Structure 1
């Protein structure tokens, strides 16, 4: 504790303090976790190791910690995520019937997009996304939509993190990202071609709640040979609007 003051909190309280440090969905260093939780570095390091061993947190190659899949799975069972998935499911199924490709529902988690749902056709293009996957905002269709409607500080954090160029079409520079995000806000649609997966393109649209805030994104990922087919953009728009209306949004 600061100033050498005695910390009388129980071990459970200290574990919960570490969990509270990640409420913003951030990826944190050991020092940042210790500061937010009000713990000495040695204590934070020991308790973080326990969180990682249990699966509640994950430690990346860069040494930063983030919410792990086990804790995320507990979170999606809560009413908000469960309600969003339940409301979206019929619209996603209609989208799957119309395209027979991958259909996704995702929400923003820090600088990543977490996939709450994925429905896939039998011959859909191979992709790395799955339920519970966390992929970078700048390199995914749903991520670009979520980034487009996020606050400016989120965009600044994406740039500061050094966006990775997965493929030649991955957007990584400030000018190209700003231009793409402005286009998404103007059209309500994001189209990316081979930005993360070779041979695939994605079309994504925002989902709004009753206040008009963008709370999720819907996307289709399909074989790039089908890029010119009109049902993808139309279907994604209709699904996103249907889910938004079910959440109480009125244009």
Structure 2
């Protein structure tokens, strides 16, 4: 039995099988039933049912009327991860400043595999509702934050994205490798990235990189909102200034931890 027709065999060890059940929940899944979890993991229903019982007893999964959902215990564990937590705490003041200046959706993202992963989001009543959420992810090639990681990262990263295939999410999604490479070259030259309705219709974004001392991107900040209202080039200096300030703060904190005088 493979995993939903992918040709991949389900994991062998008990631990790996249990983790595969947790990983089966996508960013938009509130709850899944036993049949769905079995299909997504490739595990036989009796095995999945037994492991889910163990996960319920541990507290990582909760039973619902129609199936199962991830529990708050996983959220608590996630908050203990040192790097994302420290990065989020450092970034929040800059994100809040950007929100006060724009009243748009403000994101903090990192690269995870071939996706951009949203670590934090600041929005309000005046912000346009969009699909992104904390802990959610989108393909790197059709997001402003993701384009930064692809344009400034190692060539192998882009090769992995191209090898996985470029799926069209909207009429504006760039799905031709040559066009994407030219877009990434422009991104690198100007120091910020834009997404013009490429991942969600009617939604655009501008993003700037958070860099370490070696000028490598470790995160990205973005402003996201209504494509017909946002002037991306006008907003670019604001998000670049915030990202640069955050880069400097993270560098100072790193120096203090290493005992390097400022």
Q: Judge same fold: TM > 0.5, yes or no.
A: yes
Between the two proteins, the alignment pairs up a number of residues equal to 209
Shift, 1:64, TM fit = 8.0
Aligned pair 1:51/2:54, yes or no? no
Deviations 1:196-246 (A, max 9, x none): 122221001111123321101110111122233765212111111111111
CA contact (8 A) 1:202 1:219 kept: yes
Aligned pair 1:133/2:136, yes or no? yes
Aligned pair 1:194/2:162, yes or no? no
CA contact (8 A) 1:29 1:63 kept: no
Partner Cα separation in structure 1 for residue 245 and residue 102 of structure 2: 17
Partner Cα separation in structure 1 for residue 79 and residue 157 of structure 2: 23
- Deviating beyond 4 angstroms after TM superposition, the runs of 4 or more aligned structure 1 residues are 28-31, 59-65, 69-73
Partner Cα separation in structure 1 for residue 178 and residue 192 of structure 2: 19
Instruction: Sort the Cα spacing of 1:64 and 1:154 in 2 relative to 1 into closer, same or farther, 3 A.
Output: farther
| Correspondences of 1:36-47 after superposition (within 5 Å) | 43-44=12-13, 47=15
Aligned pair 1:89/2:92, yes or no? yes
Please state whether the residue corresponding to 1:121 is helix, strand or coil: coil
Please state whether the residue corresponding to 1:178 is helix, strand or coil: helix
Aligned pair 1:234/2:228, yes or no? no
Partner Cα separation in structure 1 for residue 75 and residue 211 of structure 2: 22
Partner Cα separation in structure 2 for residue 132 and residue 193 of structure 1: 23
Please state whether the residue corresponding to 1:104 is helix, strand or coil: strand
Instruction: Sort the Cα spacing of 1:242 and 1:50 in 2 relative to 1 into closer, same or farther, 3 A.
Output: same
| Correspondences of 1:172-183 after superposition (within 5 Å) | 172-183=175-186
Shift, 1:76, TM fit = 4.8
Instruction: Sort the Cα spacing of 1:29 and 1:135 in 2 relative to 1 into closer, same or farther, 3 A.
Output: farther
Aligned pair 1:118/2:121, yes or no? yes
